Chain A
Amino acid sequence: MNEYGAPASASYGAPAAPAGAVSMNAPPVSPMDVAQVTPPQGSPLTAAGLVVARDLKLAFRKRGQWIQPLIFFAIVTALFPLGISPEPSKLRAIAPGAVWIGALLSSLLALEFLFRDDAHDGTLEQYALSGQSLTWLLLAKTATHWLLTGLPLAVMAPLAALSLGAPIGSVPGIVAAVVIGSVALSLIGSIAAALTLGVRRSGALLPLLTLPLSVPVLIFGARATELAIGAESYSAPLYLLGAFAVLGVTLAPLASAVAVRISLE
């Protein structure tokens, strides 16, 4: 076998040929000379703002992709009365579970879009090479993803619960639970989405990775909803949901960044 990197010119044979050994017969410095001074680095806040702005603009141009999970949520919750019973007392009993299973599945559906396009077109690669913290940029991306999927869900969920017979007084509790719970779901999902980037058919793997980790969110989210429907204090499960969300904010972007770096290799 041949040696790799056989030197084409003698200077490459020796390790570390002296820098600038061959210098160009310097022509006058052109106005396009940009290499002289490295421009000031953009601030992390601006960078995050640009990531959010870009993803929102893209989502606006490709609306179908983001509306899909919401329609899915509406359909799933509408199927429960058909499958179980139209009796109001029974529906009210299953409302928390129905809403949260719907929310979990629809957030899963939206998860596929989180990093996939950016991985394909090389955007993630440029993020990783931007000199900015990849963790920070991915947190901005996940936050945008939540704005597009979690927040609309928090609007839809009380409507679904109301249609299943929940009293109107339960709406604030349900909104609060879904807002906080969906933050946790987005963050948990971002790890799985990043981990499956290198996998060709990630469709089946994504739920397998995400759903077990999402079980606590499902349990406490449904519990908070149940208590809200029963007009009881729902603060305890809400605090626990908040704890998961905070844990997610602190750890998930770090894990996602490592996973993205591995997928880029």
Chain B
Amino acid sequence: MSDRSLQAQNLHLWRGDRHVLRGLSFGVGAGECLLVTGSNGTGKTSLLRSLAGLMYLEGGQVLWVGKSIRDDLHAFHSELAYIGHEPPLKLDLTATENLRYWVGIRRRLSSRDIKGALDRVGGTHWSDRPVRTLSAGQKRRVALAGLILMAAPLWLLDEPTTNLDTQGQQLVSSLIVDHLSGGGVVVAAIHHDLGIAAPSIRRLELAGE
């Protein structure tokens, strides 16, 4: 596989007067998944946002394919798919439209691509309904379709299984397994176990104060 890997070196992050990350280091290589666990407020989201380059670290650096992500943030972002707490969807647009505008900015998409991704997440029947009328779990599935469409080697997922039913959680697991088998890299913050047992999946527990 390629040398695709995400390295965190001695990360220090302060939020106000709280020292959230204290010299955290790890590496995730191609085909590997890192599950970040820990109770609320231990900095899971902050860690993911720092890895994505949205937050500025007080110390340490994040390397992608051996280079600091700050060297060429745009190039790094074009290889990154980050899905936050809330699916980044417009309530007044349909699922299909949302995906076209959201992911289309990054790469060229055909209608067939979008349909294929929505079929994969079980959205065949509600792909043309305004997102306003969808349930929270369905919105999350639209976000997962976006994740597929972005076709990025690095996934940073913040609570990807929120609001999903059992089937949806299995969908997340299978997406991650597929992504890993294709040489992708995944870092996911989760509460619940994903139910994947593979040697390529490791855990990182963030401890509270």
Contacts and interface: CB of A to CB of B under 8 A. Distances in A.
B30 A19 contact: yes
A8 B108 contact: no
Interface residues of B, number: 82
B182 A36 contact: yes
A85 interface: no
B75 to A, nearest CB: 7
Given A6-B205, A34-B148, A34-B151, A42 B105 contact: yes
A30 B181 contact: yes
The residue among A4, A18, A33 with the most chain B CB atoms within 10 A of its own CB is: A4
A51 B204 contact: no
A105 B55 CA distance: 35
B104 A50 contact: yes
A1 B42 CA distance: 13
Interface string B101-141: 11011111000000000001000000000000000000000
Majority secondary structure, A binding face: loop
Given A51-B105, A127-B105, A17 B200 contact: no
Interface in A117-138: 117, 121-123, 125-133, 137
Contact of A2 (B79, B179, B209): B209
B22 A35 contact: no
Contact of A27 (B75, B82, B106, B181): B181
Nearest to A4: B22
B208 interface: yes
Interface string A5-21: 11111011111111111
A135 to B, nearest CB: 11
A13 B26 CA distance: 7
A123 B101 CA distance: 10
Contact of A15 (B9, B37, B91): B9
Given A18-B29, A21-B29, A32-B148, A61 B92 contact: yes
A231 B43 CA distance: 66
Interface residues of A, number: 65
B202 A34 contact: no
A26 B200 CA distance: 10
A50 to B, nearest CB: 5
A122 B88 contact: yes
Interface string A41-58: 110001100110110011
A15 B60 CA distance: 11
A18 B32 CA distance: 12
24 contacts: A2-B208, A2-B209, A7-B204, A8-B202, A13-B25, A16-B26, A16-B27, A22-B202, A23-B30, A23-B31, A24-B200, A26-B181, A30-B181, A33-B181, A34-B148, A35-B151, A35-B153, A35-B185, A41-B106, A54-B90, A125-B54, A126-B88, A126-B102, A131-B78
